Structure 1
Amino acid sequence: MVSIRSLLAIALAAAAAQVYASPIALADHTHLSIFDYASPPSSLSSPQGSGGGCSEILQRRAWQSLSASEKRAYLDAELCLMWQIPAQSGLAATVSRYDDLIKAHQLQSGVVHGDGWFLPFHRLHMYAHEKLLREECGYEGAQPYWDEEADAGRFTQAEIFDTELGFGGTGRVGDRCITDGPFANYTLHTGPGYQNTDHCITRTISDLESRNSATQFVEECLALPTFARAWPCIESRPHAGGHAGVGGEMMNPISSPGDPLFYLHHTFLDRVWWRWQERDLPARLEDIAGYTTQTRPRSGWVNATLDDELNMYGIIPNATVREVMDIKGGLCFEYV
């Protein structure tokens, strides 16, 4: 099959290109670092336990496998972050704790897409979301993932878009705002893109675009022998499938965390990466490649390394790439 509308990846790349040309990202055309955005807090240490170990291993499961009560608990916790917990980052246009998470992604989109930090940063971002749900909103479960392989090519029929035990459906004709489900009346303050404007959550669900999340393409990525080859495959294929298959806010590479489905989508991608790591775990816990920016800075390319620090703007402590490579020994969760 031809690349399921290869324009998917092109569209995402074109939208992302606006990030790298943004005054925020390349004001002086010098090398970007996460340290250019804010003074990083102390590095992540023993995320769940103490003394370097894990007090428990959280089990991340597919949304489709959760019971009705488990789904309600997750949705309620997400609504808690959106409506009940005020922002703490102090970043522009943040009102809720949920806004803090969107902003951490928006402000550094230019250095966490199309380069070696893509998968490590989003793993840490998903961990931060899970941590806030549990510690600030009383959620007792783990961050679920959306098994997009099971729904690829049929997103319009997926149970995750249920109006009561899901995230609501597609947007209405005209403004594309979602009108049903638990998030229908939510107002985003960050986005679209680098803007900070009040707007609704938008979606344009498409079965065609969702086909890039199919098992066929995931397996192609898993079969690649090095991170240098596997990461671009994951970013361009199943990553594009979820974002473009949902559409709307999710199609904006800068402010896509505005749609709560972002977290289940990127947890799915993190599981794909972990499945790739597990095929040669000792070696792949140290396999990192790529640059620290998508476009070449005037000062020259900089290679991503295990010691690079990923910035979470104080939402949780920063972590190095090395600290997020092992989900069981480092971040204390597993996929089941």
Structure 2
Amino acid sequence: LPSADPTFSAAQNHFDDYVAVHMNQTNTIHGTANFLTWHRYLIWLWEQKLRNQCGYQGHLPYWNWFKYQNNLNFSPVFDGSDTSLGGDGHFFAHNGSVVGAGRIWLPSGAGGGCVKSGPFVDKVINIGPVQPAMQGYTPVFTDVKAYNPRCQRRDLTMAATTSTFTAANLLNITVGPASQSIGHFQDELQGPFGTLRLHGAGHYAMGGDGSDVFTSLNDPAFYLHHAMIDRVYWIWQVLHPAQANKINGTITFRNNPPSRNGTVNDWLDMGSLGPQKQIKDVLNTLGGSPLCYIYL
């Protein structure tokens, strides 16, 4: 599909539009009151586009973090088969990834270069990188909106998953101490400053383009990762109905710069991707306007 955003010259197709919208709003959709609902609406729009305009007959899968976390290369998401989202990248010598606000170093995996197997071997991405965690992957310094065609890169690393994708961490945020309120839940899901938790671990496990907080959508596995985030959010909502329609936080990344608290009446801006909705419109996945789904 062609790009629907003439204002973002680097966007060459509609796939790029999703990257552009996310990049433009990065600091107001992470560590914020709208983090969970903004990304919920984004992946729903992505699924609708696949089904209604691209001929896809299924539903958006989720990446079950708790399978294959000890060997991502065997995951059907990353095994490099024709039905996967591509395998690891070609070997690229680099010094791992720096994450958690520079406080955590993850060793490199066996990849780091262009994806070498699966359906996206010849995939060209056009936006970024802006702030990749993978060392040696040079960001675009002159103009982050510049057209920069290149291959998609990936460096699968279990250093981000084996100690994070655990039953203990899942139970903590769904029925344990971190499940007590929406504030506790989302803060633990995203991770306190300088830590690595479930959200970050998925991105950094992909390495390469998936590790760039601004343009991580360049890796199609982004959507399966965030479907799993949405699934965990949905599970928490089902288990905590009194809290299910509440939000917590401000409208800037970790309240930097200081800003007002978010409200359920705040708008979710999707740019060229779809109509704006208020947070309250997407809190209930069975609300019907527009959402109507559950997870298994």
Q: TM-score range by the shorter chain?
A: 0.7 to 0.9
Distance 2:182 2:169 in 1: 16
Equivalent in 174, 180, 186 of residue 231 of structure 1 = 186
Deviates more, 1:175-184 or 1:265-274: 175-184
Distance 2:26 2:256 in 1: 15
Distance 1:296 1:270 in 2: 23
Q: Aligned residue for 1:308?
A: 266
Detail structure 1 runs of 4+ shifted over 4 Å in the superposition: 295-298
**What CA deviation, in whole Å up to 9, does each residue of 1:274-317 have, x standing for no partner?**
10000122x2232100111025466x421011001011103111
Equivalent in 113, 117, 120 of residue 183 of structure 1 = 120
**What CA deviation, in whole Å up to 9, does each residue of 1:100-120 have, x standing for no partner?**
111111110011111211111
Q: Aligned residue for 1:164?
A: 82
Contact 1:214 1:238 in 2 (8 A): no
Residue 205 of structure 2 aligns with an amino acid whose one-letter code is: G
Equivalent in 129, 136, 158 of residue 192 of structure 1 = 129
The secondary structure found in structure 2 opposite 1:164 is: coil
Distance 1:219 1:320 in 2: 30
The secondary structure found in structure 2 opposite 1:219 is: helix
Contact 1:91 1:103 in 2 (8 A): no
Q: Aligned residue for 2:172?
A: 220
**1:315–1:195: structure 2 CA closer, same or farther, 3 Å change rule?**
closer
**What CA deviation, in whole Å up to 9, does each residue of 1:84-115 have, x standing for no partner?**
x1111224111111111111111100111112
**1:216–1:156: structure 2 CA closer, same or farther, 3 Å change rule?**
farther
How many residues align? The count is 250
Alignment of 1:128-139 (within 5 A): 128-139=45-56
Using the TM superposition, give the Cα deviation of residue 329 of structure 1 relative to its aligned residue in structure 2, in angstroms.
1.8
Q: Aligned residue for 2:141?
A: none
- 1:242 equivalent to 2:194? Answer no
Q: Aligned residue for 1:90?
A: 6
Distance 2:275 2:16 in 1: 17
Q: Aligned residue for 1:207?
A: 158
Q: Aligned residue for 2:211?
A: 251
State percent identity of aligned pairs.
Answer: 28
Contact 2:32 2:255 in 1 (8 A): no
Contact 2:17 2:272 in 1 (8 A): no
Distance 2:126 2:11 in 1: 7
With a CA cutoff of 8 Å and minimum separation of 6, indicate the structure with the bigger relative contact order: 1
The secondary structure found in structure 2 opposite 1:101 is: helix
Residue 326 of structure 1 aligns with an amino acid whose one-letter code is: N
Q: Aligned residue for 2:95?
A: none
The secondary structure found in structure 2 opposite 1:159 is: coil
Residue ranges of structure 1 left out of the alignment (5+ in a row): 1-84
Using the TM superposition, give the Cα deviation of residue 190 of structure 1 relative to its aligned residue in structure 2, in angstroms.
1.2
Residue 114 of structure 2 aligns with an amino acid whose one-letter code is: C
The secondary structure found in structure 2 opposite 1:213 is: coil
Distance 2:189 2:68 in 1: 17
Distance 1:310 1:90 in 2: 21
Using the TM superposition, give the Cα deviation of residue 156 of structure 1 relative to its aligned residue in structure 2, in angstroms.
2.7
Residue 59 of structure 2 aligns with an amino acid whose one-letter code is: A
Q: Aligned residue for 2:67?
A: 150
Equivalent in 216, 219, 229 of residue 269 of structure 1 = 229
The secondary structure found in structure 2 opposite 1:177 is: strand
Contact 2:203 2:211 in 1 (8 A): yes
Distance 1:154 1:234 in 2: 22
Q: How large is the Cα RMSD of the aligned pairs?
A: 1.5
Contact 1:218 1:234 in 2 (8 A): no
- 1:334 equivalent to 2:294? Answer yes
Using the TM superposition, give the Cα deviation of residue 141 of structure 1 relative to its aligned residue in structure 2, in angstroms.
1.6
Distance 2:174 2:76 in 1: 26
Using the TM superposition, give the Cα deviation of residue 140 of structure 1 relative to its aligned residue in structure 2, in angstroms.
1.9
Using the TM superposition, give the Cα deviation of residue 153 of structure 1 relative to its aligned residue in structure 2, in angstroms.
2.6
Q: Aligned residue for 1:324?
A: 282
**What CA deviation, in whole Å up to 9, does each residue of 1:114-173 have, x standing for no partner?**
121111111011011001101111212211111111222322321221322211211112
**1:216–1:195: structure 2 CA closer, same or farther, 3 Å change rule?**
farther
Distance 1:143 1:296 in 2: 32
Residue 278 of structure 2 aligns with an amino acid whose one-letter code is: T
Contact 1:99 1:190 in 2 (8 A): yes
